Chain A
């Protein structure tokens, strides 16, 4: 049966980023759907820009793919010209600008940026589909079950977690949140970013 819903909820999905002590983690579920019908169970929504910068995109799947390709393009051009990677702050500004450029015909995507600054401190930010940014120092969520994710993050989050602890916390938040959302779930993927590198783990959902 068909039922009308917001375009932001068509594909379904959840993205979540959380800061730790000199580390940051970003996670997403792996469901892709056409409203109620699940189309794929391995559709990841976190994309690597550099080993110290990831962006998670929740929203309409076609825009998730297009926007991530565009961001990759823009970052590669920057890196060729400047001979260095973009800082998380600069990348977020660029992303915000790219979204606003489509102010009257936007990408149906609400991104979450997670990265490490040059001094090793964690950086997270999220924005709405037309680029209004929210800079926080704890966690950012986006997708079809943000209320669930906010509730879990507010309860489980503590500042300055070590990478393993951060992984456990973010995983619990994500899995429990998507369990109460018909449009998200079917497993998850978590990237934990530290100065040494990125550890990627897949979560088994239900």
Chain B
């Protein structure tokens, strides 16, 4: 399938004869082999889950999540792909969000941040000599206009709003599972439990543990303030235990 395409690889500005931008597709392939992550929209919040990867025991424990990253107080992104590319996008996203706050004295709407970063990514698919960003991203947050939202964006800069989706390794399997089991009326707790199932599937494990996956929720407190909470190790273990019990009970029934 790719035999002829080698001639059209070297410049992202060139379409192949069958109308494809091969560099962009290769970039997407790069993200598909990255650590998996999933996002699920609940009625009262958004749940994000990501694989915790550690290539070596000698690696120092990261102080913050390497995949689920804050862009502002009301807004997070999840990255799958080249971390160095992701850092550039994150930094410019954070800067844009603060510039918006400065100009308009209010938080930047979630979709606007997503769309701005996508425009930034798109530039690299239409100018010669530069490769696209090898990152797929999920954006999750809350704003006054549209409430809780979840977006997915690919290296080409295409984005869409999702109720539940996945990026990274085994995302097809994850997406199938979500298609079958996602319910729009779910709450954050139910979404968390579904996220455990999804991550267990993408990591291909029947015994999920807190050192392999992490969970973050976006909700609103009683005072209306957006609350971003990364589940502690203890909370994660409790969640995994709840899902195991539910699974065992269902198995027995």
- Mark A residues whose CB is within 8 Å of B: 69-70, 72-73, 76-77, 80-81, 83
Q: How far is the CA of A73 from the CA of B103 in the complex (A)?
A: 10
Q: Judging by beta carbons under 8 Å apart, are B94 and A77 in contact?
A: yes
**Which residues of B are found within 8 Å of A76, using beta-carbon distances?**
72-73, 98, 101
- Mark B residues whose CB is within 8 Å of A: 63-64, 70-73, 91, 94-95, 98-99, 101-102, 105
Q: How far is the CA of A25 from the CA of B94 in the complex (A)?
A: 32
**Which residues of A are found within 8 Å of B70, using beta-carbon distances?**
80
Q: How far is the CA of A42 from the CA of B35 in the complex (A)?
A: 52
Q: Judging by beta carbons under 8 Å apart, are A77 and B63 in contact?
A: no
Task: Name the distance in Å between B218's Cβ and chain A's nearest Cβ.
Answer: 16
- For B64, give the chain A residue with the smallest CB separation: A83
Task: Name the distance in Å between A1's Cβ and chain B's nearest Cβ.
Answer: 35
Q: Judging by beta carbons under 8 Å apart, are A80 and B71 in contact?
A: yes
Query: Assuming A73-B98, A73-B102, A77-B95, what are 5 further A-B pairs, CB within 8 angstroms?
Result: A69-B102, A73-B99, A73-B101, A76-B73, A76-B98
Q: How far is the CA of A69 from the CA of B98 in the complex (A)?
A: 10
Q: How far is the CA of A54 from the CA of B64 in the complex (A)?
A: 27
Q: How far is the CA of A194 from the CA of B165 in the complex (A)?
A: 45
Task: Name the distance in Å between B127's Cβ and chain A's nearest Cβ.
Answer: 28
Task: Name the distance in Å between B63's Cβ and chain A's nearest Cβ.
Answer: 6
A-B contacts, 24 listed (Cβ < 8 Å):
A69-B102, A69-B105, A70-B102, A72-B101, A72-B102, A73-B98, A73-B99, A73-B101, A73-B102, A76-B72, A76-B73, A76-B98, A76-B101, A77-B94, A77-B95, A77-B98, A80-B70, A80-B71, A80-B72, A80-B94, A81-B91, A81-B94, A83-B63, A83-B64
